[in-house]
Structures are given as C-alpha cells and as structure tokens.
Amino acid sequence: MSQQNNPIAVVHPAVVVDANVSIAVCAREQDKLAKAEAAINDYAARGWAFYAPNVIVGEVLFALCKKLQDGSLTQTDYDDAVESFSEQMQMILPPPGGEASLIARAKEIRSGYGCSRSSDSIYIALTEELTKHGPAEFLTFDGDTVNQITKNAPTVKVNLLPI
C-alpha cells in the first residue's frame, strides 16, 4: 500500500504574530495597545490567517506572570489578560507542518546570535515557511529581529510596529 502525498494546507495570506504583540493586547499595554489592535484588525479585515509557533504560549504566560509579580498588572487584570490570551489563541493557527519541521531552519536563523534569539528564530522560520505557499508577514514590536531576518531569512517580510 502506498502512502498518499498530503501537502501542507496553508490558508493565505498569513501573518505570524509575535508574542510581544499578543502581550500588548492582552496586558493592555498603553504604549503598544492601539498599534497592535489596529494591525490585527487590519489583517483580519483583509482576510489574513493568523499563525504562531507554540512557544508563544510560554512566552506570553511568562510575561504576564512577570507583570503580575512586578505590580504592573493587578490580580484581576492578570486574570483578564490570561483569559484574553486564551481567546486570542483560538484564532491563531499552529505551524502547518508542525513544530518539528521548523527546528533545523530555526537553528540556522539563530546562527550568529545569542541563545535569547532562539524563540525569535522559530517565528522567523515559520514565516519563511508560510512565504513558500503565498504572501506572509511577521508582525512584531521587536526591532532587533529585523537585522536577524535581513541576515538569515531575507525572504521574510516584517511588519515592525513602532513603539
């Protein structure tokens, strides 16, 4: 019996949402909220599909916990932020080829940068993979990723939101 070739089904166009964008919305960060919501609403209005690697869950939960600990979120605000994030994740698709398909490329993209850029490399690898199937962009507030993308993943288009 032969296996059928199952191509990766990708809904396009696609935008990969960085954790810092989700954090801005869920934690209602005053300096970023309006820009993040405007970008997300624009993508949604134009019919773009939202994607993120699974590392987004740990990154966002960690950041929200730190905000609770440092007092920038009250317990009620923290609970609301976590609930908002849970709802947001219902609309964000996982990598179509699974996380394992991104490992080798993420390692290459991180090359020449510190270990702290490892998670960013997964987002970039996902965006690069989605670009192979149609229009895709990486939505972020992190200007440092632009250099990493320019050097190691030049086909990736970045929508860098100003702070």
- CATH number of the structural domain spanning residue 103: 3.40.50.1010
Cα dihedral 13→18→22→25 (10° resolution): -80
Q: Is residue 5 part of a domain?
A: no
Structure-token pair, residue 57: 């869950």
**Residue 7: inside a domain, yes or no?**
no
The dihedral region occupied by 112, where left means phi > 0, alpha psi between -120 and 50, and beta the remainder, is: left
Q: Is residue 20 part of a domain?
A: yes
Q: Could you report the per-residue pLDDT of 69-91, keeping only the tens digit for each?
A: 999 999 999 999 999 999 999 99
Q: What is the mean pLDDT of residues 9-26?
A: 91
Position with higher pLDDT, 150 vs 12:
150
> For residue 68, which phi and psi values (nearest 5 degrees)?
-65, -45
Distance of alpha carbon 150 from alpha carbon 89, whole angstroms: 28
79 is a domain residue? yes
How many Å apart are CA 10 and CA 12, to the nearest integer? 6
Q: Which domain holds residue 110?
A: 14-160
Q: What is the DSSP string of 52-65?
A: --THHHHHHHHHHH
CA distances from 53 to 16, 80, 141, 154 (A): 8, 23, 17, 20
pLDDT class for 12, splitting at 50, 70, 90? confident
Judge contact between 13 and 136, C-beta under 8 A: yes
Q: Is the pLDDT of residue 6 over 50?
A: no
77 domain residue, yes or no = yes
Which pLDDT score, from 0 to 100, does residue 11 have?
62
User: How many domains does the chain contain in total?
Assistant: 1
Rounded CA gap, 32 and 12, in Å?
26
Specify the pLDDT at position 8. 61
